[in-house]
Amino acid sequence: VKVDAKTGAVTLPPDEVKDGSTVVAKNGDGTLTSADASGIAPNDDGSTPVLPAPTVAADPANQGGVVITPNDKATTLTVDYTDEAGQPQHIQVAKDPADNQWKPQGQLPGKASVDPTTGKVTLPPDDVKDGSTVKAKNGDGTNESPEASATAPDDAANPPQPGNDAPVANADNMKGEPGKAVEIDVLKNDTDPQGESTIDKTSVKLLDPTTGAKVTEL
């Protein structure tokens, strides 16, 4: 490391600073200190380091949702997608150097959320159109990453709703004695898929177990 005695310029040789790392500096006058200034150390061959793209993937916890995770070298993340109404949406989040927390730059659309620790953006299934493309880029204040993209998966199928299904009638039997009346509650062991507490008694029919013919007396 060299320091110019006249200008104060500090020189970091190529073999003493990591390629692609962030170099941060401040000025001071003994009383006041400037804000941080930063830059990315170029590669030893003079080429500009490439900032890795973010990860765009289906949300494993919510079918139809998408999660976008910035690279750990990034300080900004932009996301472009289409909502369920077919409208384009844009999200930008940035890492606050004061507390290292990721924060949205403006109001987030719908129910999208940002993890303040990791910067991960989550798009719920109802906020992103099925089959549409979600695009994202990282930034570090100097460089911008290549674009990453993924297709939003279809939302989970709605659970089947019960229809007007027929009640389930179970066989009834009871032993009787000749000449004596027999009373049977023919609805007691029957059920209805819709949860109806009563079944129309006028719909009950008595059938001969041998012939299957309707009978009105025994």
pLDDT digits (tens, 9 = 90+) for 10-19: 999 988 988 8
Q: How far is CA 6 from CA 3, 10, 25, 42, 128, in A?
A: 9, 11, 18, 25, 58
H/E element holding 40?
Answer: strand 37-40
pLDDT digits (tens, 9 = 90+) for 44-73: 887 777 789 999 999 999 999 999 999 998
Residue 159 lies in a domain: no
Q: What share of the chain is helix, strand, coil (3-state, %, to 5)?
A: 5, 30, 65
Is the distance from CB of 3 to CB of 9 less than 8 angstroms? yes
Q: What mean pLDDT is predicted for residues 29-51?
A: 83
**How far apart, in whole angstroms, are the C-alpha atoms of residue 9 and residue 80?**
41
Indicate whether 118 and 93 sit together in one domain: yes
- Which domain does 143 fall in, by range? 55-151
Per the prediction, the chain carries an average pLDDT of 85
Residue 91 lies in a domain: yes
Q: Which domain-ending residue is among 151, 176, 202?
A: 151
Q: Which domain-ending residue is among 151, 172, 200?
A: 151
**How far apart, in whole angstroms, are the C-alpha atoms of residue 67 and residue 167?**
45
Indicate whether 32 and 86 sit together in one domain: no
Sorting pLDDT into bands at 50, 70 and 90, what band is 163? low
Indicate whether 197 and 131 sit together in one domain: no
**How far apart, in whole angstroms, are the C-alpha atoms of residue 203 and residue 208?**
16
**How far apart, in whole angstroms, are the C-alpha atoms of residue 74 and residue 54?**
9
Q: Which domain-ending residue is among 92, 122, 151?
A: 151
Is the distance from CB of 130 to CB of 152 less than 8 angstroms? yes
DSSP state of 35: P
What is the per-residue DSSP string for 125-173? GGGS-TTPEEEEEEE-SS-BPPPEEEEPPPPPPPPPPP-SPPPBPPP--
